[in-house]
Structure 1
Amino acid sequence: MGKHGDGGCDGLADNGSILYACYGQRATTGVDQKTKDKLESDFARGLACWDGFSTWRFVTNALLGPTPTQSVLALRQQHAPGTQRPITIEIWKVDDLWWQAANKLTPAQLDEVIPGVPHAENVELADLVELILSLEDVDGDGPDHIESIRPVPSTKMDFNNLPETARAEFNAGRLLSARIDKWFSEQADPGLRDEKAQRFRVIYEEARQATRDVREVVRQVYGALGGQDFDLSTKRANAVYAVTAYFFDSCDIFEEPPADNAGGEVRYVATN
């Protein structure tokens, strides 16, 4: 649609018979009038640009007061059964969109519609999605983010020839290490942490066999946990960095330098 706009359409369903118009209300004053204006504008544009729909759904987080409600009633009367263009007009809340539409999609379909929906690409890490979501909720202001930072294993990072970008990502992720410890301690299965550590090790080994580029190895580990589109969300990306750094620091992934290695002279993988 590009420069021509969306024609008042935020989505089509059932072979074009249902047209969705979505409105996120943020105003604090004149809410009713703004909702009314948006509702009428989207309907008029949809009517002019899309001739195949018979149901129009206006999805909004706004409470419909008297003014927009009157508009809905007027439009329903204008497009009632037996008129020249009969249209069923429905008002949906955000929860309606989820439970009556999005919730019926398969994970693959949902990810296509809303790229970046939290998921683990590797099915054996799927139960860590809950951990990722809990880390996304962290606002970054709590004192526990500062008090329990793990020592940065620079020798191990040198030995594995991690690029500066990965080091920065790991260092940012370490701020959440205490949260990850707490999450694992609260799980019913006491062996969950070790089980996932073993799976992470297998994923790392497979990535290492597939490429000698450490940047690609890191990326494949990230993707196994958060999906290849994990970095579409800053919060999700930070959560993925945190979990990866957690297993890196606990010696579950990447290689441990020999005890006499001081500067990481031995490097197993190329960076260019």
Structure 2
Amino acid sequence: MGAVGVMKKSDFNLHFDFAFGNYHHTEFEKWFADMAASVFDTDFESIKAGGIHGDKKSDGRRISTETIYQCYAPESPRTFAENAKAKILDSFPDVISYWPNLKEWVFVHNNVAGLPTSASDALEELRKQYPSIRIFAPSPRRFLKDNFHDKLTLQQLIDIYPSASMNFMNVTMADIRPLLRRVMNHRSTVSVNALDFGDLPDEAKIDFNSLSPDAKFNLQRARPHVDVVERYLTGMNNPQNASKIQAQMRSKYEEAKDMEYNSDEILGELIQFVGGSTVPAENAAAYVIVTYFFDACDIFENVPDDALC
């Protein structure tokens, strides 16, 4: 992917696919509302939960068409199949009471296979009870991409997928070197054994540390480029300097952990520590460095052996 100035809208398809496949519950709702607000502008109201009425059974309203959107995005197709019918039938009576001028109700979901028969029957039952209201649950991926994602301007796409501005393909030794020197020269108050870091992790480590989908995505995007860090560390004239950098990273991790930050906050602290900034190139380089030490088991917690059985 090129720099922000030369990005193409097609560059963001990868980010759409990731969001659609990995966002659930409130993350999915926010993603949908952000896209809808960008497409419809002042014609869209994003409904936030609050007070005794919660979100009034709505994840957004298009004013001009009196359309209410309700999202349902559980973690698995099995959960969707088991609960979609109840979600539809339990929600709709309240929707009518909150929005008496309702003309259209759209059930926005994340199940690629579509609706199970029970949920489809529930929708048909509602259509018979409320013939004046258009009620439907469109094919989710196509609906979201055609009607929202693909209608966004380039700047709107950048706003919705801010990490897209990080170009990991362009991370070079020139980007990595000054950031690692910065880490090496940092004075730590925490004593850490630089050689006591465990075994190499597997993919389960990301899930075990409860990182958000966005954090996982950025670590996964950075992973193919960690060889730049490896080349720098192995090429250092003084091998003790590599151990010092390793210890500094572990020390900063332990410091953030002691502050009781959650996993995403710890990741942010580490990105900032190594030199991440608002400059996309620097941020991409910082992610590559942090990913290297994540994979080397110097930061974050490894999956216990008994959890692998």
For the aligned pair, the TM-score class normalised by the smaller chain equals 0.3 to 0.5
TM-score w.r.t. length of structure 1: 0.45
TM-score w.r.t. length of structure 2: 0.41
Structure with bigger helix share is 2
